Structure 1
Amino acid sequence: MPPKTAVTRAMVEEAAFDIVRAAGADALSVRAIAEKIGCSTQPVYTACGSIATVREAVGARCKIVAETFMRTGRGGEPPFLQIGIGALRFAHEEPHLFRLAGEFMRARLLDPPPEAVLAAMRADPALCQLDDAHLRRIHALMWIFAQGLAGLVGPGAAEGALVDAIAYLRMAGRAVVAWELNPANNTS
């Protein structure tokens, strides 16, 4: 009889993340994790307690991946645009993780932008003169626009869709910033 392999929490979380990355959050189950590891379901439960705990761990790791994409947009672009480009790349390269990340990102739409995003906006020469109310509005509008574009660059997207989406993001950003910079539009 072959020796039993001890199933660890790290093994379960790694398998779960791989499943979600490849097939989406709906594919995640204790049975799928057990099959991926090569064990029965009991060691999975023993290592992690419940599928809810595993989902939390996958969500936390997904958030880290999302933040990594957002921080690594494209050099030479203004900092806030780099975040948007990173979001589009994330949607294009990791569509299942992007959908999962969308669940926690949508819940925060009406919240102020994260401090790292505000810092990127304040570092942008076109935005640094605006107050926080203007920055929040720009962030919300560009987030909504980027989410729409992200839906167009995922699986099945036409060749060049990501390049086109980045160009549209850049154009929309210029229009939104121009609107906010125009004193006649000052509604804050």
Structure 2
Amino acid sequence: MPPRAEMTKEVILDAAFQMVREQGLDVLTARNIAQRLKCSTQPIYSAYGSMEQLKDDVYSRTVHFAIDSMQQYRNESNASAMNLAIGCLMFARDEKQLFRTLLLSDYGTDYLKRNPDVMNEQMYAAFMQIDDGLASIPERNVQKMFLKLTAYWIGIGTMINTGTLALDIDEATEMLEEMFQALKEKEGLI
């Protein structure tokens, strides 16, 4: 009989993340993870003191995965900030359960209240790094642009994710481009 694989935190986290990615956050229980890993719940609680700790780690991984995914979209004819916004829409379309976990779940809301800068800080840093023109306007104005564009793409992304509006990526992209251009024009970047 071959030796049993060690149930490390990383193995457990990988399984939990994949479960959330496939089926959503509601499926995340010690029993379901144990079934997926073909073990008892004991190794899960040995590695993680509580399911809350495991959920926090899954959420943190989801944030990093989302940002990495969003930054993968590149179209040379777009401003970099626009590419990030379109990447966000594609994430909403392609990673339905992760998008819902991040932005539409009660757990996500609670996590972000406990860790208010986790996602915004990373997204804002990415926003600042990808468009050189933003450095030429006052910080307060950049923050307003970021907030407006974020609210807009989350709203459109939610409609795409949930299917509440028949909107394809091309139409959504056009809407985002119009909003981004209007924001840039308002700040004198065009």
Shared fold per TM-score greater than 0.5: yes
Q: 1:165 to 1:105 in 2, by over 3 A?
A: farther
Query: Of the two, which has the highest radius of gyration?
Result: 1
Counterpart residue number, 1:61: 61
Name the TM-score, length of structure 2 as normaliser.
Answer: 0.80
Percent of aligned pairs with the same amino acid: 26
Q: 1:113 to 1:159 in 2, by over 3 A?
A: closer
Q: Map 1:71-82 to 2 at 5 A.
A: 71-76=71-76, 77-82=78-83
Query: Larger % of helix: which?
Result: 2
The one-character-per-residue Cα deviations of 1:110-141 (angstroms, maximum 9, x if unpaired) are 879633322223x14xx453221211111110
CA distance in 2, matches of 1:72, 1:113: 14
Give the 3-state SS of the residue equivalent to 1:75 in structure 2.
coil
Gaps of 5+ in 2: none
Gaps of 5+ in 1: 183-188
CA distance in 1, matches of 2:21, 2:94: 10
Aligned length: 179
Question: Structure 1 residue 174: deviation in Å?
Answer: 1.2
Counterpart residue number, 1:97: 98
Question: Structure 1 residue 67: deviation in Å?
Answer: 1.5
Give the 3-state SS of the residue equivalent to 1:154 in structure 2.
helix
Counterpart residue number, 1:85: 86
Question: Structure 1 residue 150: deviation in Å?
Answer: 0.4
CA distance in 1, matches of 2:97, 2:123: 24
Name the TM-score, length of structure 1 as normaliser.
Answer: 0.81
Counterpart residue number, 2:125: 115
- 2:125 alignment partner AA: E
8 Å contact from structure 1 (residues 113, 139) kept in 2: no
8 Å contact from structure 1 (residues 48, 54) kept in 2: yes
